[in-house]
């Protein structure tokens, strides 16, 4: 399948990713203070075995059956799986679901499926359960959003490499520039990072928020993209951590990582987010795919 960006934009995107990774390399240290509890001694091939997991559930308050909705004739979960398979860092890609309708669909187009319980509270917990059921062991787990049918393989590779070169981080993710009109949209999660490329905070509100109470057109606000990767050992720890106040208030699972004092590496990429949150988004995605000559 063709990539969803032109060659020039793809080159620009890869430049962003390289800058993000180099920033992480510059500050990475072997004596990872926050990682000692579960990483232990580093091997020569640090975090080399990588699996991509696409958590998918049928029930949704805003869009029931979303993974199976057709995007130009193919189920959305299939399009996400096909895009993910193009990532060079992934040794394996699986779908994790608790619904037989999704499982049957995925097996039909050739995907490996791991059945998980209905008790998983979020995609991260579903990824952890799937990881425990996989026959092989992996060092890194990439949580790939099933409602992002235009997932960029280069972004998947970028977040994996960012985690591989930052041993003091347990989690990595990506951000892109926020459109000013999305500044007050609670469905668009914003992120702020420190000078070394580590996450400070995520919010559904605009951050930073200046004293004028208005969006500053000159400030480089950042939009969080759904893709994220975990150190596999930490993923087990994460699932055992109790929900935290900020996590519950914002309804953002990555805040539980930060509230417990763990580090999260963030890379910036040039990408226009096109997730499917409501039925109305399907037409927008299809229109965009036609413009980019994607089938």
pLDDT digits (tens, 9 = 90+) for 108-137: 999 999 999 887 878 888 999 999 999 899
Digit-coded pLDDT (tens) for 215-236: 999 999 999 998 999 999 999 8
CATH code of the domain made up of 44-173+226-261+272-289: 3.90.550.10
**Alpha carbons 285 and 70: distance in angstroms, whole number:** 11
Residue 34 pLDDT > 50, yes or no? no
Which sequence spans correspond to the domains of the chain? 44-173+226-261+272-289
Q: Does 64 or 70 have the greater pLDDT score?
A: 70
Q: In whole angstroms, how far apart are CA 153 and each of 85, 86, 177?
A: 8, 6, 19
Span 9-22, average pLDDT: 47
Digit-coded pLDDT (tens) for 274-286: 778 788 888 888 9
| pLDDT level of residue 63 (50, 70, 90 thresholds) | confident
pLDDT at position 118 is 83
């Amino acid at each position: 399948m063709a990539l969803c960006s032109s060659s020039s934009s793809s080159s620009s995107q890869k430049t962003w990713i390289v800058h993000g990774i180099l920033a992480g390399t510059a500050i990475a240290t072997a004596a990872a203070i926050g990682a000692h509890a579960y990483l232990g001694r580093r091997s020569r091939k640090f975090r080399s075995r990588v699996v991509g997991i696409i958590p998918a559930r049928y029930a949704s308050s805003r869009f029931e059956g979303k993974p199976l909705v057709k995007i130009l004739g193919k189920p959305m979960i299939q399009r996400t799986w096909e895009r993910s398979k193009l990532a060079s860092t992934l040794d394996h890609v699986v779908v994790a679901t608790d619904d037989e309708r999704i499982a049957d669909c995925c097996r039909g187009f050739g995907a490996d499926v791991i059945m998980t319980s209905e008790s998983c509270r979020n995609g991260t917990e579903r990824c952890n359960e799937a990881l425990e059921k996989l026959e092989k062991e992996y060092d890194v787990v990439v949580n790939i959003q099933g409602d992002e049918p235009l997932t960029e393989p280069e972004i998947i590779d970028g977040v994996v490499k960012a985690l591989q070169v930052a041993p003091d981080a347990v989690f990595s993710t990506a951000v892109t520039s926020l459109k000013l009109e999305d500044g007050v949209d609670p469905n668009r999660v914003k992120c702020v990072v420190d000078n070394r490329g580590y996450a400070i905070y995520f919010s559904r509100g605009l951050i930073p928020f200046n004293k004028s109470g208005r969006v500053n057109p000159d400030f480089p606000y950042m939009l969080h993209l759904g893709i994220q990767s975990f150190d596999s050992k930490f993923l087990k720890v994460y699932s055992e951590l109790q929900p935290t106040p900020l996590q519950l208030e914002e309804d953002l699972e990555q805040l539980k990582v930060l509230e417990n004092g763990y580090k999260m590496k963030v890379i910036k990429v040039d990408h226009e987010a096109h997730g499917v949150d409501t039925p109305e988004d399907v037409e927008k995605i299809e229109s965009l795919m036609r413009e980019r000559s994607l089938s």
